[in-house]
Structure 1
């Protein structure tokens, strides 16, 4: 059987965002594939049910069932702008429901199925223009949706706060995100919230009279991280704040009569926790787990909380994997999986999970039954994969650090080249499942390499003390974890000490630069989306102030690779998105210039139009190129034998 190649990137089909029909008999989900000719990622709405083959319903994403299960609402572009569409499940073609000038977010049905709430960007009104919308359903200014204004790309950008840009969106130009409600029968739309703030995803109250959402409305919200639960009449009105500074809220869901909140206790450090908001105030949900709650974000798997009967379901990360639990602490899925989306209906659970052999499949589970039913098979059946093996290493201070070792153990064993790969975050984590983004892992293993994906201190899934162990000590606390693991693999004959390389993305890119200032043992280095100077990034990143205040507290210079760049002799390949606002491309430029001035072999590759997350959701050609360049650089400077 063939081994995986980089061209298999174009064959991956990955499901996400599963939603059970109210009767529990079918699952609608989003399937992401790659169109090689168009160099685009494609999303489609598919349906899977027991005993049948999955079938495509429509181009689009974010499918949500009406309460009676007869209609699917989903999002797909109209002339390049995302709009909510309705698909009758008894036959017929999808029809557009919204015509929001700047696009509509995911649909949220009202309990009685007569209305749909959603978020949408709102532009500031053009100078001198009226703020009232134009009339007429379906018009550019549909009822309640303001005309687009103030978006001239050539106009000066004026900022009074630090939150004037966001990675993936770029300069916000005064845009805010607000709540809207559309009548399903008439298409009439009402703007529910207004003001100089962003409203988070809406949740309907059980009686359909109000919407709950998370927002930070403080004037200095760019300097003090916050987030509170608010409710607002579904017809529009003044929001009512329900939580105080004792919690920083990240999401809210009305599950039956229960209002469930995910957020931080106090400052935004450490684990995300679950709370219930009731007449007696805010109460933390007792999970019995020293683990971080995962509600699901790009690059960070997980699922929003849900109810199964009276039981609360939620996701946490545990030793790399993201698991689905029933409160207080009952794991519902197999151990070596990572869940990326779940929903419940009629006593059943639908979820998407990656395994060591699949980047994701849809499963249907009935609690009490021994095994979940797999409804899809998106594994590359004609490709033989290497499966990561867990291994624990001991740092010099006695800290136990876990990692995953990927290598070909079928042939003659012996010391070979080793690639240390460092994840981002730093509060992310490697998992022992098929990684459809870092394809070079599988390709290198087939060429005789060992790939070490280490979860050092600060990684998620090992308890809150471990999670916070590198706050204010990037590079100072975690270097020992990486080098102890490398030393162990050299000592046991797995790694050739003369053929060591290091790579990583985001925090991993930072750490790649840092390690080359501390040791000359690596023969090649590949920082991706890197940070080289914590001082300058604190004023140029869209999260710079947050990083400086909560993550890199203390002496930024002492934690910055630029302070030690004079010691670097490692041939370095820098890979960076041109439109990266999280770790701006100037970070790579500084490192490139400093190494070039010192005649250190260095190359800078900039990906036009690419944001920080381009290695996950960027153009397929860029993602392919990223993987290809890593392999080529390693083979150039290390190859099959010591240079």
Structure 2
């Protein structure tokens, strides 16, 4: 017997992530995140599965163990436990702390082994801020979502000696230093950091290189000061850096770039693909690019899914994952010719798969190694969706996905959900963040998700299509597909609800002022006032200057300027510790609606950051979904 997913099932979710393939390609270590209902928190521990098959097994007890990384000789596994580095013997035994609160008071970051296995580099905070200490602000970057107030504290690059536990800091100054990468000879580290005298204002960053030996010269920039550098790694022969970035700051695709060490102009490697390279990160699929011989393997989004590609002297090719499957983690064992992937499909949120890369770079069909979905949610069958292409009046093609239970009668209620970003996209596979979709479909609803212009996965022109014109450029990408479904008789025009999170929350508020189509609205993590957003959000400066551009346009493109036109009952859901879209945005919208007599309710989730619907307290995630379902149902009942 099978049954549909319900909201309370989120307490049973088991989500694997961040795989690390042993150097011989025989073992995959990974982080498994489960839900600790008793303590109302996510629980993470390190698990392992063998490439030859067999059941996965737990290696550590948690509750906050993440980022496993094999040593070069495969004898040890480094990982983070509650913010400090630990080492676990590969042949069994207890984990031993490598860094401690005494030597590393602010905590460590993701471990990066040196080629000879004697040292581990990481990027981490330069100091620990006491909760009651004054916060000094004299530049941007003084807060970050999930970390809170930073003041003058910046992430820096550190190296710890594996035998002695001695920790040395290699960088300093104002710029945040990103994750480091060892040179093949182990003498230098490369890392991304802000660049130029006004890097925090311009959003510019570049690759930097620093020597590891004591007394080495200060770090030097090796890329253009006006570009963007995200993830950085080395070519296997040490001749250049591989950078995920752009040659100019601003909104657009990230590319693979070969950056010469002499500072010469970077060489684009992936431009012909016309897809955005995804290095992975919180709330974002993809994985760091890696080398397999002379081939670079990487992820880029195509049509909503993070796909797995390769680039070499012969050009760009795609590995043979089934259509619609998406990748959210990768680890390559070069000499074994294998890659361990985290893959999502239409019936599972995420599983570990093994892909043989092959000597010709072609790859073979991946082999699934884990079964966390069927283990944790036996008998669950997710409702099917149908992809649909809508053509709006200006000729733009907009991809949508329609989720309905088989046998659902036409003329029922519709939930329209707008994604965030604005450069995210709806994946054509299962996702754990939206149990309310499944619950509503079980109740006879239709759910419509749309990749409006600005979405990732459809080329750079589409990616940039709403720059400078939020709301104005993309509103018809929502309104016209809904009108099509009404005209076809699929949904009841009087029972249409609109929701969205982050940018989706912005567009939900915008559309509720621009159209009377929606019977009710649920705005999550919303932006409503772009002017105040610019000075209060951790990302506000770049949104104002790069996504909008013209400061005179900020008021006109702000939903708060059009609140007089809103009539739809509105529920506002917002993280109380959101530093990306500060809670003041939600408070302004509630005040604007309530004082105008619009039925409105604001729910704040104390201590929750912007990404809490993905990784926050289980009780907050359950409450978010349940309130959304109850609100739209109550305001569309007939």
Same fold (TM over 0.5): yes
Structure 2 equivalent of residue 139 of structure 1: none
Residues 33 and 43, structure 1, Cα contact 8 Å, conserved in 2: yes
Structure 1 equivalent of residue 118 of structure 2: 114
Structure 2 equivalent of residue 68 of structure 1: 73
Structure 2 equivalent of residue 597 of structure 1: 595
**Separation in 2, partners of 1:107, 1:90:** 20
SS state at 2:172 partner: coil
Q: Could you report, residue by residue, the CA deviation over 1:422-477 in whole angstroms, capped at 9, with x for unpaired residues? A: 00010000111111011101111111101011000000000000000000101101
Residues 255 and 270, structure 2, Cα contact 8 Å, conserved in 1: no
Structure 1 equivalent of residue 566 of structure 2: 568
Deviation at 1:176, TM superposition (A): 1.3
Deviation at 1:153, TM superposition (A): 2.9
Deviation at 1:370, TM superposition (A): 4.2
Structure 2 equivalent of residue 225 of structure 1: 203
Deviation at 1:287, TM superposition (A): 5.5
**Structure 1 residue 385 corresponds to structure 2 residue 382:** yes
Deviation at 1:504, TM superposition (A): 0.3
**Matching of residues 394-543 of structure 1 within 5 Å:** 394-408=391-405, 410-543=406-539
Out of 211, 216, 228, the residue aligned to residue 248 of structure 1 is 228
**Separation in 1, partners of 2:287, 2:408:** 42
Structure 1 equivalent of residue 252 of structure 2: 270
**Separation in 1, partners of 2:408, 2:583:** 43
Structure 2 equivalent of residue 210 of structure 1: 188
**Structure 1 residue 375 corresponds to structure 2 residue 369:** yes
SS state at 1:222 partner: helix
**Separation in 1, partners of 2:88, 2:438:** 40
SS state at 1:104 partner: coil
SS state at 1:163 partner: coil
SS state at 1:558 partner: coil
Q: Which runs of 5+ in 1 are unaligned?
A: 124-147
Deviation at 1:286, TM superposition (A): 3.8
Deviation at 1:255, TM superposition (A): 4.1
The number of aligned residues is: 609
SS state at 1:443 partner: helix
Structure 1 equivalent of residue 219 of structure 2: 239
Residues 557 and 563, structure 1, Cα contact 8 Å, conserved in 2: yes
Q: Could you report, residue by residue, the CA deviation over 1:63-117 in whole angstroms, capped at 9, with x for unpaired residues? A: 001111111011102xxxx111111112221100012101110111100111111
SS state at 1:293 partner: coil
**Separation in 1, partners of 2:141, 2:90:** 42
SS state at 2:586 partner: helix
**Separation in 1, partners of 2:514, 2:615:** 33
Moved more, 328-337 or 51-60: 328-337
Q: Which runs of 5+ in 2 are unaligned?
A: none
Structure 1 equivalent of residue 318 of structure 2: 331
Deviation at 1:162, TM superposition (A): 2.7
**Separation in 2, partners of 1:156, 1:387:** 53
Structure 2 equivalent of residue 52 of structure 1: 54
**Matching of residues 149-228 of structure 1 within 5 Å:** 151-228=129-206
Structure 2 equivalent of residue 143 of structure 1: none
Residues 287 and 329, structure 1, Cα contact 8 Å, conserved in 2: no
Out of 320, 336, 343, the residue aligned to residue 353 of structure 1 is 343
**Structure 1 residue 340 corresponds to structure 2 residue 331:** no
Pair 354,175 (structure 1): closer, same or farther in 2 beyond 3 Å: same
Pair 309,381 (structure 1): closer, same or farther in 2 beyond 3 Å: farther
**Separation in 2, partners of 1:494, 1:508:** 23
Q: CA RMSD in A?
A: 1.4
**Separation in 2, partners of 1:453, 1:492:** 17
SS state at 1:38 partner: coil
Moved more, 278-287 or 209-218: 278-287
Residues 159 and 169, structure 2, Cα contact 8 Å, conserved in 1: yes
Structure 2 equivalent of residue 260 of structure 1: 242
Deviation at 1:203, TM superposition (A): 0.4
Residues 74 and 106, structure 1, Cα contact 8 Å, conserved in 2: yes
**Separation in 2, partners of 1:26, 1:11:** 26
Residues 205 and 226, structure 2, Cα contact 8 Å, conserved in 1: no
SS state at 2:531 partner: helix
**Separation in 2, partners of 1:418, 1:306:** 43
SS state at 1:111 partner: coil
SS state at 1:441 partner: helix
Structure 2 equivalent of residue 127 of structure 1: none
TM-score w.r.t. length of structure 2: 0.93
Residues 190 and 235, structure 1, Cα contact 8 Å, conserved in 2: no
Deviation at 1:330, TM superposition (A): 1.6
Structure 2 equivalent of residue 129 of structure 1: none
Structure 1 equivalent of residue 622 of structure 2: 624
SS state at 1:526 partner: strand
Pair 235,459 (structure 1): closer, same or farther in 2 beyond 3 Å: same
TM-score w.r.t. length of structure 1: 0.93
Deviation at 1:388, TM superposition (A): 2.0
SS state at 1:442 partner: helix
Residues 241 and 261, structure 2, Cα contact 8 Å, conserved in 1: no
Residues 20 and 26, structure 1, Cα contact 8 Å, conserved in 2: yes
**Structure 1 residue 635 corresponds to structure 2 residue 630:** no
**Separation in 2, partners of 1:247, 1:568:** 41
Deviation at 1:331, TM superposition (A): 1.5
Deviation at 1:499, TM superposition (A): 0.5
Structure 2 equivalent of residue 132 of structure 1: none
**Separation in 1, partners of 2:29, 2:297:** 19
Q: Could you report, residue by residue, the CA deviation over 1:522-577 in whole angstroms, capped at 9, with x for unpaired residues? A: 11100001011111111111111111100012311221111211111100000011
Deviation at 1:218, TM superposition (A): 3.7
Structure 2 equivalent of residue 293 of structure 1: 277
Residues 390 and 403, structure 1, Cα contact 8 Å, conserved in 2: yes
Residues 195 and 225, structure 2, Cα contact 8 Å, conserved in 1: no
Deviation at 1:120, TM superposition (A): 2.0
Structure 1 equivalent of residue 288 of structure 2: 304
Residues 323 and 335, structure 1, Cα contact 8 Å, conserved in 2: no
